[in-house]
Every structure is written in C-alpha cells, then in structure tokens.
Amino acid sequence: MKAGLYPKIAADGIRKNGRLYIPYYVTSILMVALFYIMHLLGFSDLLRNFEGATTAREFLRFGTYIMAVFGTIFLFYTQSTLVKGRLKEFGLYSVLGMNRRNLGRIIFFETLISWLIAMAGGLVVGIGLSKIAELGFSKLIAAEVNYRFNLSVSSIAVTVIVYSLIFFLIFLNAVRRVRFASTINLIHADKAGEKPPKANWVIGILGFLILASGYYIAIRIQQPLSALIWFFIAVILTIIGTYLVLIAGSVMLCRILQKNRKYYYKTNHFVSVSSMAYRMKRNGASLASICILLTMILVMISSSSALYINREETLQNHYPRQINAYASKYGYDKEYVKTFGRVKTGIDEITKEYGAAIKNETIFFNYCLTGYYENGCLKLDVNPLENFTTIDYDKVVQAYFFNLETYNRLTGKNEVLPEGKVLAVTDGKISLGSDLQIGKEEFSVVKSGDNSKHGLRNPVATSVVSTIYVIVEDLDKVASLYADYKDPTGSPMLAWYWIYDFDTDLDKERQIELGKKLNKFMHEELSDDRFINYCDSREDQRNDFIETFGGLFFLGILLSIIFLVSCVLIIYYKQISEGFEDQSRFGIMQKVGMTKENIKKSINSQMFTVFLIPIVVACMHLAAVLPIIHKLLLLFGHDNMPLLINCAVVCVLICGVFYAAIYKLTSNAYYKIVS
C-alpha cells in the first residue's frame, strides 16, 4: 500500500467522527494548556522574585504531578470510548483485507494527529493564557504584578515530554484492543449488549457497608491529627463504595421501576427504563465516575475558598497582637523565669528606644506534657510512633500546667484553690472526673470546665490534639515532679513555653522593622541551641498566610476546571454513545406509532433519572466529609465551621447551575441522534 494511504485514512476517520473527536481534542488542548501553566508557575523562575510566593509555588508543583496522573487516566478513559466507537469501522477494514499491522498504522497516524493537535493547540493556548493566570495568581497571593510577558522553554519541553509519553501509552492501549479482537467481534462491537452484574444484592450491600465505613470515619474523627491520618482511608472507602453502590443500585432501581406497573407502563418511562436496564453495568460505572468528579470539585473549592476568605481571622488567631515573642525548651530548669525576665526587659527597652508604646500586652509561661488519655489517666509511657497502626489519635492529649496567678490574670477571674487541689479546663471531647492522673502523679480536681468559656491560650497556635489545662498553685513544684520523665529517645518529656505579645502605635512598615530587630535580639540573647525562639510581627507574616491560602485557592480553581471539563466530557460521550445505541430502537418505536413528542418525554424521563443520581450522591458525600475537612483545616488554623458550610452551599448551587446546563445540552444532543 502507498505510504500516504494510512495518514489519509486516519484523517478521514477523524473527520467522519468529528462529533466524537472534537470534544476529545478540546479537552486534550485544555489539559496541555493547564499543565504548561502549572509548570510555568511552579517550576520556572517566573515567580522566584515574587515576595511571599515560595509556599504557593510548592502547591503548584504538587498540582503539576496531579495533572500528569489525572491526565493519563482520563485521556485513557476518553480514548477507550473513541476506539469503541470505531471498532466496527476497523472490522470493515479487516474484511476488506487489512491485517492487524495495517490497522495499527492507521491508529498510529490517528494518535499522531491527535498528539499534534493537542501539543500545538495546548501550547498556544497555554502560552496565551499564562500571563492571565500569572496576573490572577499574583492577585490571589498579593504579590507585585509584573506585566512583562514570559516564555519558559523548560516548561514547554516538560509539557511535550509528559504528553508525548501519555499519547504513546494511549496508542499502545488502542493497538492492544484491536489486535486481540476477532474480525467478527469488531464488526458487531456496536451490537454487543451488556448483562446486569450478577449477585447485585451482594455487591450493593458490600458497597453500602464500605461507603458507610467511609462516612463513619469522616464523621467520627474528632482531632486534626486523626483526620490527617484517616482522611485518605475515608476517601478510598468512599470511592470504592460509590462505585459498588451505583453499579448494583442502578440495577436494583431499574428492577424496582419495572415492577411498579403504574410507573413503568407509561410511554414516558417504558422505553427509558428498558434502555437503562440494557446497559446498567456501564451506566453505574459512569455515574459513579461523574459523582466522584463532582465530589472532588465541591470539596476542593469549598475548602480552599473557605481558607482564602477566612485568611485574616486565621492570621489573627496565630498572631493575636502586632508583636508576638515566643520561646520554648525541653526540660526543667529553675532559671527559666529569671532568663525570660531578662529577655522581656530587653524587648521592652528596644521597643521604647524604637519610639513605640507597648499596649495590650499578654505574657505567660507554662509547662506541657503529651500523652495518651484513657480512663482519667494521661499515660506518658505510650509512644504514638511505635503504635502508629493501633493507637487512637483522638486520645492523644496535651496537658498544659499554668499557675493560678497567670490563670486569673488571663481570664479575669478570681479563683482560689484549696491546698492540694487543681482546676482543670479542657479543649476537645475529654471527660474529667474528680481525680486526674498524669504519669505517676495524681491530682484532685476541685473544678473543671470547657475552655470555650475560659479563653486560655494554647502556646502552640494550632493544636492538633485535645488539650487539658491544669491550673495549680505552685507551678514550679508541680513541674519538678516531671523533671526526670524521658521519652523513648532519652529526651526530656517536659516542655517549657514562654509567650509575650503586645500591640504598638506603629504603622505596618515599622511594625515589621521592629519585629525583625526583636527577633535578632532574641536569637542573640538565647543562643543556647536548646531554645526555640522567635519574635514575629503580624504584618510580616501576613504575606505568608496570603500566599499559602491564595496558592491553595488557585490550585483548587485550576484542578476544578479540569475535573469539571472531564465531567462534561464523560457525560457527553455517555449521551452520544448511548444515542447511537438507542437510535435503531427509537426508529422501530416511531414506526409502530411513537411520536417525536413521546420520544422527547421519554428522553427527559431517562435523563432526569440518570443525571439526578450523581449530583444528589455528591452532595451526600460532601455533607459526610465536611466534618473531617473542618478538622484538616484546623491544621491551617482555620476554625470557622459556619463559613465552611456557607462556602459548601454556594459551591453546590453554582455547580448545580453548571450541571443543569450540561444536562440540557447533552440531552439535546441525545435527542437529535435518536430522532
């Protein structure tokens, strides 16, 4: 055969199946473009000079890896749909004398054309939109805007290499499908029906139990540390459960509808329910895929937008005053109080010399121990790292010891402790009795309460575990009881914290400058390597918060765009492929008296039933995982559940509008084919 024949056949095949290939090319171009933009922002030197962009660049680099993996999976899925639609055509070529090698060459040139279109279009679009993305990214992280156009050769090279590899794997997969199929099977590929999965009740119950397990984990987790460990397990269980439930549940739904005579034996429903039952296994899998994509979109946008909107409140929680000095050290030492009395004096003198007044000051120090709380006892001999797979991290608790004078000063109370008694205040779901044991020492609790009514500050801005605040009369005496406690590595378990915060009358620039002077002083004064110390100004840390949450929000937007486009494409191909399958059936029904109006009503009935399932289940997933998302956001210092819920509701409404538009467009495409 002539060398130019294969490219011509490949081009003709793409042109004749334009309805299938155009959405595929649009998606490929978009994926290539977004991959280039992410790599440009994350790996090139473009943002290196942007103040406060380091953390955001790390998020974008992570997003680049996600894009590569998801692009591979999704393009494989989409290309498999394309090949399935072309199998009959390849079968006819085989009947006309082409062998598997000839068919492989046609597939090669089709893949080559697809690769050229994706690369050329994707890079052109990516380069064209990169400046807009850069400006939007700069706006989100409050970085200085640079209007100079940039072109990254390294990002272009990486994009070409990654997607060349993806298209090569796609080519091998297409060749495999054609090579191992007989000619007769190729010709009758579009006639092959699908049987409902066997033992669907078993699959359905198993899927329900797996899904319920994922929900249970998401709802039960109480602490951020546990959420961090169990989140991915809950996600995996939810995904598996969704697929099993929708595959089996869709079969059960059709059987229930068929048994309901008042519903089934109507013109609107008879054909639609029969069509769904005919291909229910594939329906369930595609509905589950759509549901998972919708859930990912809702979770990403809800959480990242809540973080970004709440960034100022989170900053205030971390840095309650304009100037925040902090120091910590492990071990017991009577000289700590004298040492930090000297440090405070130095901070006050430097501040006054700088011409600033000290206002609204807060100063305190305390000791801390971390252990495993069970049955009224905080055990200090349990090593969470050694018992990683069996330990319940909701029971990992930090105990902070305050003296009574500090407690009364911080809370404005006037408590008095009887001799030998302590006052206990808790953060988290901890049940305290009249006795509290910490290690080998026992304390008699005269009064206990919830910290939400007391307002004690945790020295560590974001607590990832539950907390017990133990207020004692003589802090030094109690701390000395734990001086010899060691962890498994031989290091002291007792930690000492010192906090000194205050406001000034300085403007933002001078606050930053003063914070840097005080930070330098603390490093020089506490040169002992065992001390962890710093002095930050709130204004100096503002950029870091903005870039972190802005970077996450930007990444969430980009990934959500990809997932939304992927969702649209799955729905589109589902409607197109099913439309061609149902074309002959509706043709027969029209010959026996079914009108176009009846066809439209039947299609609307089928579309509404099928399309409603993913969005409803996705909303259920979102509601179930919001508690664990809230715990994860606590790791960033975000503690505003009402805002998270509001963001989730808004995202559901916006996503619902897009989903309704997709439903309308794809149902029209289906109607045009079958009618």
Please identify which residue in the block is written with the tokens 């302590």. 422
Is it the case that residue 167 has pLDDT exceeding 50? yes
Q: Considering the chain, what is the average pLDDT of its residues?
A: 78
Q: Count of CB atoms within 10 A of residue 270's CB?
A: 18
186/305 Cα distance (integer angstroms): 49
Cβ-proximal residues to 76 (8 Å cutoff; 6+ apart), any chain: 169, 170, 173
* Candidate ranges 96-110, 137-151, 259-273, 430-444; pick with highest mean pLDDT: 430-444
Residues 19 and 156 in one domain: yes
Closest by CA to 541, choosing from 505, 507, 506, 516, is 516
Question: Do residue 20 and residue 161 come from a single domain?
Answer: yes
User: DSSP characters for 105-123?
Assistant: HHHHHHHHHHHHHHHHHHH
- Regarding whether 173 and 26 lie in a shared domain, the answer is yes
Please indicate, yes or no, whether residues 498 and 567 belong to a single structural domain of this protein: no
* DSSP symbol at 617: H
So what's the pLDDT on residue 647?
Answer: 92
Listed residues 147, 176, 192: the one ending a domain: 192
Domain enclosing residue 360, as ranges: 323-505
Residue 637 placed within a domain: yes
Name the more confident of 69 and 592: 69
Two structure tokens written together for 480 = 């000395």
Q: Is 513 part of a structural domain of the chain?
A: no
Same domain, 160 and 211: no
CB 643 within 8 A of CB 633: no
> What kind and span of H or E run contains 324?
strand 323-330
Which residue has better confidence, 548 or 385? 548
Determine, yes or no, domain membership for 531: no
CB 613 within 8 A of CB 246: yes
Q: Answer whether 464's CB lies under 8 Å from 223's CB.
A: yes
Residue 661 in any domain: the answer is yes
Pairing of strands 396-403, 466-472: parallel
Query: Which helix (H) or strand (E) covers residue 438, if one does?
Result: strand 435-438
497 and 470, same structural domain? yes
Tens digits of per-residue pLDDT, 79-99?
Answer: 777 776 666 677 676 666 677
State mean pLDDT over 501-513: 90
> In the chain, how many domains are there?
3
Q: Mean pLDDT, to the nearest integer, of 609-630?
A: 85
- Burial environment of residue 373 by CB neighbours within 10 A (0 to 12, 13 to 18, 19 or more): buried
Q: Cα–Cα–Cα angle for 481, 484, 488, nearest 5°? A: 130
Residues 496 and 585 in one domain: no
- Tens-place pLDDT, residues 11-32: 887 888 777 788 888 888 888 8
The answer to whether residue 290 scores a pLDDT higher than 80 is yes
pLDDT in tens, 373-418: 888 888 887 665 555 455 677 788 888 999 888 888 888 888 888 8
The span from the CA of 277 to the CA of 30, in Å, is 35
Instruction: Kindly state whether residues 232 and 309 are assigned to the same domain.
Output: yes
- Answer whether residue 609 is part of any domain: yes
| Rounded Cα distance, 396 and 223, in Å | 9
Residue 565 lies in a domain: yes
The answer to the question of residue 520 being in a domain is no
Helix%, strand%, coil% for the chain, nearest 5: 65, 10, 20
Q: What is the mean pLDDT of residues 555-559?
A: 79
Do 603 and 631 fall into the same domain?
A: yes
CB 436 within 8 A of CB 443: yes
445 vs 338: CA distance, rounded Å: 30
Spatial neighbors of 266 by CB under 8 A, at least 6 apart, are none
Confidence of residue 650 (pLDDT cuts 50, 70, 90): very high
Give CA angle at 299 (295, 301), nearest 5°: 120
- Answer yes or no: do 474 and 422 share one domain: yes
Eight-class DSSP state of 198? T
Of 192, 215, 246, which residue is a domain's last? 192
pLDDT at residue 199, as a whole number? 47
Is the pLDDT at 232 greater than 90, yes or no? Answer: no
Given a cut of 60, whether residue 656 has pLDDT beyond it is yes
pLDDT band at 197 (very low <50, low <70, confident <90, very high): very low
160 DSSP assignment: H
Does 121 share its domain with 205?
no
Shared domain check, 327 and 309: no
pLDDT tens per residue across span 457-489? 666 655 667 888 888 988 888 888 898 888 777
- Residue where a domain terminates, one of 153, 175, 192: 192
Which single residue is written with the structure tokens 């030094």? 476
**Do the domain assignments include residue 535?**
no
CA–CA gap between residue 141 and residue 206 (Å, rounded): 45
